[in-house]
Amino acid sequence: MITSLYPVLMCENLEATANFFIENFQFRETFRSDWYISLKNIESDFELAFIDSKHGTVPQAYQSKASGLIINIEVDNVDCLYEELRQQEEMEFLLPIKSEDFGQRHFIVEAPGSILVDIIQVIPPSEDFVANYLGGEDE
């Protein structure tokens, strides 16, 4: 039986990466060492962790920072969070806020270490995409 599932991202700057999620997305530390930081969201049980990519527990052939990765964070009010984050001069927006026909209003920012964070609010999809949704708990 699975009791937990969460991503652990390999990174080069643990402190900066963890602080990005603490300061902008309401995470708190649940464990800290000089090579690993674990976070939990204040409002939910969602977890996220970071490991020094050069740590001995990472197989040598894979000791590099995470790449080709997008973390999706779904929120209740994406426009409100977008306006809050726009006030931060250091925040880099890679995709400005927009609504998509496939059922998302979102924007993408960059966390330290070139980690993409897609901030999403689910919206009704266009008629072209309604059939792509395969049901779920309501069926």
What digits encode the pLDDT tens for the residues 62-120? 999 888 899 999 999 999 999 999 998 889 999 999 999 999 999 999 999 899 999 99
Q: What is the mean pLDDT of residues 10-27?
A: 96
pLDDT band at 139 (very low <50, low <70, confident <90, very high): very low
> Does residue 5 surpass a pLDDT of 60?
yes
**Closest to 124 (Cα-Cα) out of 107, 108, 100, 106:** 100
Q: How many CA atoms lie within 13 A of 5 on its CB side?
A: 2
Q: How many CA atoms lie within 13 A of 80 on its CB side?
A: 6
Separation in Å, CA 86 to CA 27, 40, 49, 106? 19, 24, 25, 14
Full set of structural domains in the chain with CATH: 1-54 (3.30.720.120), 67-131 (3.30.720.110)
> Does residue 29 surpass a pLDDT of 70?
yes
Q: What is the mean pLDDT of residues 109-135?
A: 92
